[in-house]
A and B are shown apart, each in its own frame.
Chain A
């Protein structure tokens, strides 16, 4: 019940394309769903986050789509750029629980 399953493990996208990373959770008590971006040798940095009372949140080229009934959420990166190449982690939180996905290594080919 405490898992967050993230897919794919790795993703290669052409520059200008759309990158899509998916996550699924089981615990319906989760009420905060962040996405973190991590570059090699750096700590994770919050990219965008959503709470379950909305189905979509957009910040620039980054969009979270949230499907409460399916217990799934996804990150869409529009017009993907080489600078977006990084590892992306989804997570789910409730009160004192924070569960991370295993991460997706994204490579944007120029």
Chain B
């Protein structure tokens, strides 16, 4: 158990809808990272927050947004969903601000858009 909690584990929704994925980092970790993993592919970095502030942005679509709250949990909002958004979404956390450090991953949220 990595100590990173993601909810829900599975989500099925229709095209055009909006969903929110939630992540609780490990106790004491200030950084939260979001990744997308499509079927049989590597991980695509979406966005990083550190102590409530956005620190780095990757290949995140304009339809997607995220935030980190004062209690350090984070939410990833996906809107105007398309079939191609179906993927595993992972959250990771670390106690450092940069990317060049160990990150601990949650079990992921499997999103299916129908």
- B-binding residues in A (CB < 8 A): 6, 31-32, 34, 36, 41-46, 49, 89, 93-103
Contact = CB atoms under 8 A, between A and B. Distances in A.
A94 B43 contact: no
A94 B100 CA distance: 6
Main SS class of interface, A: strand
Interface in B43-73: 43-45, 48, 55-56
Contact of B90 (A31, A44, A98): A44
B45 A32 contact: no
B8 interface: no
A37 to B, nearest CB: 11
Contact of B2 (A32, A45, A96, A103): A45
A32 B101 contact: yes
Interface in B85-109: 90, 92, 98-108
Interface of B: 2, 4, 33, 41-45, 48, 55-56, 90, 92, 98-108
A96 B104 CA distance: 16
Contacts of B41: 102-103
A42 B107 contact: yes
B16 to A, nearest CB: 28
Contact of A44 (B45, B98, B105): B105
Given A42-B107, A43-B2, A96 B55 contact: yes
Nearest to A31: B100
Contacts of B45: 98-100
B100 A101 contact: no
B100 A89 contact: no
Contacts of B33: 98
A50 to B, nearest CB: 11
